[in-house]
Amino acid sequence: MSNGFFEGRAARLIVGIGSVLVDIVVPTSDAFVGRSGVPKGGMVYFDADTIQQVMEQAGGKAQVVPGGAACNTILGVASLGGQTRFLGKRGQDEFGRLFEADLSRHRVDPFLVKAPTSTGRVLSLITPDSQRTMLTYLGASAEMTPAEIPDDAFAGAAIALIEGYLVYNRDLFLHALQKARNAGAKIVLDLASFTVVEENRDLLTAVVEEYVDILVANEDEAAIFTGCRDETEALAALAALAELAVLKLGARGSMIAAGGRVYPVEPMCANDVVDTTGAGDLWAAGFLYGLVQGMPLEQCGRLASACGYEVCRVLGAAIPETVWQRIRNDIH
């Protein structure tokens, strides 16, 4: 039994476009986050100097790993054994070299433009309840232009994953959507953050109606986007706009809506959550990998839940290879 989305299509390539960012993960207190000027659990843009200053004030030991929402998902798909490509713009600095090397190490096809501007970074402040609050400097990523998307960027793609944060680069965002549509890919949009939705609701609504086949949101993003606080109503509103809709509910699991049916997905629960950074991104990795492999939607959801859970057991968004091996073995 398959999910019906890719029947008769040989392509299994998943192409992501998004910000090239390095994640700097620092444990800290609720009180410090309260003084940071960023709503807890949200994301605000800052310059590189401010991020460095806040990181030093936070006091916790920093861990540095390649990141960015779409990149996290693409790396996850690659770690599951999927065929992937990532598009973005990096600086010609140590962070940029670290980022590209990590893509290559995971067998991701890197379509990266290089710029003299420094590579972007995200300072993720992790509070004792494992919530992340993000201070972001986009760096070179913010300078990517529509002309820098190669003509063959989405060639052969089954899925094009468009990062929600790209909405702040409107021309690039719209051009990527059109390129993906022209290539015949199914377009996936993850709404990224409640802050993103609050500030760009009208544009996102128009884009979803025009381009998006698979729409992904968590409960906060869905409530703002649809205007529905009731989760069942919010999912129905999302499903009315796309061929397939996903509502992520954190520790309560998720719900998938397609073809007039709702598929509830149970969470994988334990008391060993360390950091929720990348949980939604890795959930998407498992789900999209399962989707292009033709797995039933229930199985896609279970794989997604496993990936989202495992990344919460480590600091940052990098699941250890030994864990990936176990997940791959469970699939087969």
Q: What is the pLDDT of residue 149?
A: 97
Asked if residues 160 and 185 have their Cβ atoms less than 8 Å apart, the reply is yes
Q: Is residue 60 part of a domain?
A: no
Distance CA(309)–CA(88), nearest Å, equals 27
Pairing relationship of beta strands 244-248 and 214-218 according to DSSP bridges: parallel
Q: What is the pLDDT of residue 259?
A: 94
Q: What is the pLDDT of residue 99?
A: 94
Q: What is the pLDDT of residue 195?
A: 86
Q: Is residue 254 part of a domain?
A: yes
C-alpha dist (Å) from residue 156 to 84, 112, 272:
11, 18, 40
Q: What is the pLDDT of residue 130?
A: 82
CATH of the domain at 252: 3.40.1190.20
Residue 302 belongs to what domain range? Answer: 13-21+67-118+141-331
Q: What is the pLDDT of residue 314?
A: 83
Q: Is residue 109 part of a domain?
A: yes
Structurally, the chain folds into a number of domains equal to 1
Q: Is residue 305 part of a domain?
A: yes
Please indicate, yes or no, whether the overall pTM of this predicted structure exceeds 0.75. yes
For the chain, 332 residues long, the average pLDDT of each consecutive 10-residue run is 69 94 91 90 89 89 87 96 97 94 95 96 90 91 96 96 95 98 97 91 97 97 96 97 95 94 87 79 96 95 94 83 92 78
Q: Is residue 32 part of a domain?
A: no
Q: What is the pLDDT of residue 151?
A: 94
Q: What are phi and psi of 28, to 5 degrees?
A: -155, -170
Q: Is residue 107 part of a domain?
A: yes
Q: Is residue 260 part of a domain?
A: yes
Q: For the chain, what is the HEC assignment?
A: CCCCCCCCCCCCEEEEECCCEEEEEEECCHHHHHHCCCCCCCEEECCHHHHHHHHHHHCCCCEEEEECHHHHHHHHHHHCCCCEEEEEEEECCHHHHHHHHHHHHCCCEEEEEEECCCEEEEEEEECCCCCEEEEEEEEHHHHCCHHHCCCCCCCCEEEEEEEHHHHHCHHHHHHHHHHHHHCCCEEEEECCCHHHHHHHHHHHHHHHHHHCCEEEEEHHHHHHHHCCCCHHHHHHHHHCCCCEEEEECHHHCEEEEECCEEEEECCCCCCCCCCCCCHHHHHHHHHHHHHHCCCCHHHHHHHHHHHHHHHCCCCCCCCCHHHHHHHHHHHC
Q: Is residue 219 part of a domain?
A: yes
Kindly state the tokens that stand for 304: 């997604």
